[in-house]
Structure 1
C-alpha cells in the first residue's frame, strides 16, 4: 500500500505542473482565438500565438516608460483597494516576480550559518551593501536572502561576515528547485547537464 501511495504522489508531482501550465496556455490561446475571430475578418494558424507574444512584448516595453509606470501603478492601487482581488493579485504578482526575476536576483547560491551557528541554510547573495550599512561593520559583510521552503516570496535577509558564507558551485535553477521542493530535489553542480 505504501508503494502505491508513493507512486500516486510521484504521479501528482509530475502531472500537476504540466496540467496547470497546459490549462493556462490553452485557455489564453483559446480566448485570444475567440476574440480575434469576432473582430478580424482574416484568420490563419498561429495568429493567436503571434498576437499574445506581441502583446507581451508591447506591455513589457510600455511598462519600461515613465508614463506607463504611473498608469500601471495607479491600476495596481485600484486593484489593491478591493479586498479579495488584492490578495489574489499580490500573491500572483509576487510569485511571478520571484520566478521571472529569480535568474537575476537569485543566482549566487551559498550556505550560511542560519538560523543559528552549527547548522547551514541555502541562501542567495544579494546586491552589495549600501554605504550606511557597510560602514557599521569592522569587516566586509554581505546580505544573503534565505528563502522559506516551498515559497520563494518569503524568507529572511541576513547580514553576515563574508568569511561565514560558503559559495556553492550549483546551477541557480537547481538551487531554486531545492528550495521550492523543500529539499526533495538536491542542487546540481554547474558542470551537470541534467
Structure 2
C-alpha cells in the first residue's frame, strides 16, 4: 500500500498545481472577456487582449501623471481622503504598502539573513534595508509556510548573520517548512520525493 500512496502523492504534487493554474487562467480570461467595454468583441481573445492593453495603458498613464507635480498633489489628496474613511483606510494603506514594497527599486527583502534571537537558535529572516532610530537593522521574519505573514523586528547588528544563498533558496526553505532544498525536492524520508524510494 505504501507504493500506492507514494505514487498517488507524487501524481497530485505534479497535477494539482497545473490544474489550479489552468483554472486561475481560465477564470481571469472569462472575467476579462466579459468586461462591459469589450463584451461582444469577436473573437473573445481579441477582447481579452484589448482589456490587457487598456489596463497597461492606464497604468502607464497614471504612473506618468504621478511623477509630475500635479500627480503628487493628487496622490496626497487621495491619501487624505482614503484615510478619513474608517476601516477602508486600513485596507488602502496595507495594499499601498504591499505594492510599494513589491515595485521598490531597493533590495528590500531580497537579501536573506539569519538572526540569533537567543542562545544558539538561528532564524531565517530578510533584511529590509531599514534601520531603527537607534541605528539597529530592521528585519522581516516570515512565518512558515505562509511567507506573506510574519513579524518585523529590530535586532542588534551583531545578531545578524549574512548567508551565502539566494532569496529563492531561503523562501523555498520557509515555504516547505524546512523540508525542501534549493531544487524544490523534499528531504523528508519516505516522502513522495524521497530518494530512498527509488
**TM-score of Structure 1 vs Structure 2, range by shorter chain:** 0.5 to 0.7
Q: What are the ranges of 5 or more consecutive residues in structure 1 without an aligned counterpart?
A: 135-140, 189-194
* Matching residue of 2:120: 118
Q: Within 5 A, what are the aligned runs for 1:1-194?
A: 1-35=1-35, 36-38=38-40, 40=41, 43=43, 45-56=45-56, 58-59=58-59, 62=62, 64=66, 65-66=71-72, 67=74, 70=78, 74=82, 80=88, 100=102, 104-114=107-117, 116-130=118-132, 132-134=133-135, 141-187=136-182
TM-score, normalization by structure 2: 0.63
How far apart, CA to CA, are the structure 2 residues paired with 1:148 and 1:46?
42
Contact 1:98 1:153 in 2 (8 A): no
Question: Do the aligned partners of residues 184 and 159 (structure 1) sit closer, same or farther apart at CA in structure 2, a change above 3 Å counting?
Answer: same
Higher radius of gyration, 1 or 2: 2
Give secondary structure in 2 for the equivalent of 1:144: strand
Aligned length: 170
Give how far 1:148 is off: 0.6
- 1:11-69 Cα deviation digits (max 9, x unpaired): 3333333322221221221232244242x4x6475441342254145247537555368
With normalisation by structure 1, the TM-score equals 0.64
Structure 2: 5+ residue runs without aligned partners? 184-198
| In structure 2, distance between residues paired with 1:23 and 1:97 | 25
Question: Residues 112 and 122 of structure 1 are in contact (CA less than 8 Å); yes or no, is this contact kept in structure 2?
Answer: yes
Q: Please report the RMSD computed on the Cα atoms of aligned residues, expressed in angstroms.
A: 4.0
